[in-house]
Amino acid sequence: MMRFLLLFSRQGKLRLQKWFLPLPEREKKKIIRDMVAMVLARKPRTCNFLHWRDLKIVYKRYASLYFCCGLEEQDNELLALEVLHRYVELLDKYFGNVCELDIIFNFEKAYFILDEFLMGGEIQETSKLSISKSIEASDMLQETMEEYMSKPAF
């Protein structure tokens, strides 16, 4: 299973953090620090995998953002790269040409999309169509419900 997923900028600003196992806050901060330092120090065109403690770290840079996740020993690194890619695709489809600002201003949406895709660190659904459909459905739900609720009551 994936243990955590972090999104941070080239300046080391954290944009999204998802922990699939509960950890104490101090431990989380330590991991974030280590990951940012390790990944930002990598030279270009090096491989996307690292060992850190007993975890495999897989990271990839998309424009100004680094996507970085921690995997357990038996997980497949190449597939994890594609998990990151699929997540980027999902964000892209939702926001339309996604950029860092979209994730900053709509961080809650970034979380919701991730939740449709991964759960407990495992893949829940890989189909881009199904995920987009359920995200759209909940957006619809939001609109219809709000319309419904804002109608004057008798």
Q: Which residues bind other proteins (CB under 8 A)?
A: 1, 14, 16-17, 21-22, 29, 43, 45-51, 53-55, 73-74, 76-79, 81-82, 85-86, 93-96, 102, 104-109, 111-112, 115, 119-120, 122-130, 134, 137-139, 141-142, 145-146, 149
Let me know: does 112 contact 134? Beta carbons within 8 Å.
no
**Amino acid residing at 121:** G
Kindly tell me which of 25 and 154 has the beta carbon lying closer to other proteins. 25
CB of 51 or CB of 151, closer to other proteins: 51
Q: Which is nearer to other proteins, 96 or 154 (CB)?
A: 96
Alpha carbons 151 and 36: distance in angstroms, whole number: 49
Distance of closest approach, residue 65 Cβ to other proteins, in angstroms: 15
CA distance 102 to 84: 17
Residue with tokens 């424009």: 63
Strand partners, 154: none
| Beta carbon of residue 142, minimum distance to other proteins (angstroms, whole number) | 5
* Distance of closest approach, residue 115 Cβ to other proteins, in angstroms: 5
Separation between Cα atoms, residue 42 and residue 112, nearest integer Å: 30
CA distance 55 to 109: 28
CB 45, min distance to other proteins, A: 7
